[in-house]
């Protein structure tokens, strides 16, 4: 692949923040666009964010950029790493000081020192991410890259920069799966071999689970997260994360189709991957899944939602196939998460029943509430809820005329 610098600059100028960066480059010969942004521009894709490096003063540059953007931009600076992220409504720019990295022990965070642009490219994960475009001074429009980078981009290949790459930073194994899914690039044979060797040697165990969890969350949030999870499975990473973890893309597709707009696709896909673990003894399964999600630092809310969904789906699937009456469906499903119901519908091949509840039944409401029953003389306590539930059941089954009067009568006539 030929990298046409002028064309790249032109493409950059059409990106949010691009013109402002080029303007700032007029006074800074060290300003360069790097990483995924250059890769995406060369592929004719829109980068999700613009990554730039400077020799020094990353924070200062972020401040100048914020001023020139003429937008309400928020700057998040990390003094220790010499980085600053600029976020505004239209886009995002990551500014970093060029650096060289070395790894004292496999899986540990790298030791960092200021470096030149070649060193900054040499610390990167894959050749296609190790391309830089000069934005200022004599470097304007110049493309610098590591060996093989442009040929790999053309051939849609993922290649690590050196043979210790996955040992140094095993989170690159998960990044490999993510890029494979997103860009539909394939690892070249030696990189594939290094990846499987690193996985077999237990490389994932040398990184903090929190970092692995962060990469897993990125995979779950990919636009094509099903492909990302498939790639994780095919590489043997799911099994390495937790024996028994797997992923059935067909099942996931069916489940996602059922998930309503207020559901969480990322959590549903995670529950799909965890489903095989739920097959064992319930107590044991609960403990294993809880510990895994806790270790990977999922938030307490997400952990509970995934745990409840995964543990419930199998049993719900079996009952869903035999339940048709709306009120019974509602009674069966209303205590569960929408993810559990979607997964159960997929497992039990009961899309009709699951969809009926997710789309329609769960939104059904009575026009009356507990106050109406209290006013009619029902003593306060569980009886109020029970009578309302009985009236709702009749309404769901189409056995109630419309309106408050019919509902009130049904609630008062229900067996307490």
Please give the residue ranges that form the binding site for ligand ATP (CB under 6 A): 35-36, 48-49, 51, 124-125, 129, 169, 171-172
Nearer Cβ to ligand ATP (30/169)? 169
Least Å from the CB of residue 182 to ligand ATP = 8
Nearer Cβ to ligand ATP (51/248)? 51
Query: Apex CA 66: angle with CA 60 and CA 71, to 5°?
Result: 175
CA distance 224 to 208: 26
For the residues of 100-118, what is the DSSP string, one character each?
EEE-SSTTSPPEEEE--HH
Least Å from the CB of residue 86 to ligand ATP = 14
For the residues of 174-203, what is the DSSP string, one character each?
HHHHHHHHHH--EE-HHHHHHHHHHHHTTG
DSSP-based three-state secondary structure for 50: strand
Report which residue's Cβ sits closest to ligand ATP. Answer: 36
Inter-residue contact 43 to 153 (CB < 8 Å): yes
DSSP assignment letter at 400:
S
Biggest CA-to-CA distance, the chain: 87
Least Å from the CB of residue 14 to ligand ATP = 17
Least Å from the CB of residue 24 to ligand ATP = 20
β-bridge mates for residue 102, sequence order: 111
CA distance 370 to 41: 60
Least Å from the CB of residue 119 to ligand ATP = 13
Nearer Cβ to ligand ATP (51/356)? 51
Nearer Cβ to ligand ATP (172/395)? 172
Least Å from the CB of residue 197 to ligand ATP = 18
Nearer Cβ to ligand ATP (99/305)? 99
The distance of Cα 317 from the centroid of its chain, to the nearest Å, equals: 26
Nearer Cβ to ligand ATP (111/325)? 111
Identify each DSSP E strand in 29-138 by its residue range. Answer: 32-34, 50-54, 74-78, 83-88, 91-97, 99-102, 111-114, 131-134
Nearer Cβ to ligand ATP (69/96)? 96
Least Å from the CB of residue 49 to ligand ATP = 5
Identify each DSSP E strand in 273-316 by its residue range. Answer: none
């Amino acid at each position: 692949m030929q990298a046409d610098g002028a064309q790249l600059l032109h493409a950059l100028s059409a990106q949010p923040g691009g013109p402002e960066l080029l303007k700032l480059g007029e006074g800074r010969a060290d300003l360069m666009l790097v990483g995924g942004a250059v890769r995406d521009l060369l592929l004719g894709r829109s980068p999700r964010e613009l990554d730039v490096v400077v020799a020094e003063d990353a924070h200062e540059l972020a401040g100048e950029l914020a001023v020139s953007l003429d937008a309400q931009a928020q700057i998040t600076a990390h003094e220790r790493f010499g980085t600053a992220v600029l976020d505004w409504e239209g886009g995002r720019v990551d500014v970093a000081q060029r650096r060289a990295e070395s790894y004292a022990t496999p899986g540990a965070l790298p030791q960092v020192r200021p470096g030149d642009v070649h060193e900054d490219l040499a610390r990167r994960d894959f050749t296609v991410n190790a391309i830089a475009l000069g934005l200022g001074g004599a470097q304007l429009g110049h493309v610098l890259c590591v060996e093989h980078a442009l040929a790999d981009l053309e051939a849609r290949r993922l290649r690590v920069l050196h043979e210790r790459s996955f040992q140094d930073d095993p989170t690159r194994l998960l990044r490999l799966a993510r890029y494979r899914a997103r860009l539909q690039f394939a690892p070249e044979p030696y990189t594939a071999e290094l990846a499987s060797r690193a996985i077999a040697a237990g490389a994932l165990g040398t990184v903090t689970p929190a970092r692995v969890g962060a990469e897993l969350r990125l995979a779950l949030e990919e636009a094509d997260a099903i492909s990302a999870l498939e790639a994780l499975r095919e590489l043997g990473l799911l099994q390495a994360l937790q024996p028994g973890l797997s992923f059935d893309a067909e099942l996931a597709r069916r489940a996602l189709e059922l998930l309503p707009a207020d559901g969480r696709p990322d959590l549903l896909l995670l529950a799909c991957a965890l489903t095989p673990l739920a097959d064992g003894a319930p107590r044991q399964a609960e403990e294993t899944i809880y510990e895994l999600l806790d270790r990977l630092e999922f938030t307490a809310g997400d952990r509970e939602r995934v745990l409840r969904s995964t543990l419930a789906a199998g049993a719900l699937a079996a009952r869903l196939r035999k339940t048709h009456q709306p009120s019974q469906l509602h009674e069966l499903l209303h205590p569960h998460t929408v993810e559990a119901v979607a997964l159960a519908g997929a497992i039990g091949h009961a899309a009709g029943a699951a969809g009926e509840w997710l789309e329609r039944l769960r939104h059904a409401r009575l026009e009356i509430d507990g106050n109406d029953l209290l006013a009619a003389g029902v003593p306060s306590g569980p009886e109020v809820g029970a009578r309302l539930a009985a009236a709702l059941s009749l309404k769901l089954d189409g056995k109630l005329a419309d309106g408050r009067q019919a509902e009130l009568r049904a609630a008062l006539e229900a067996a307490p």
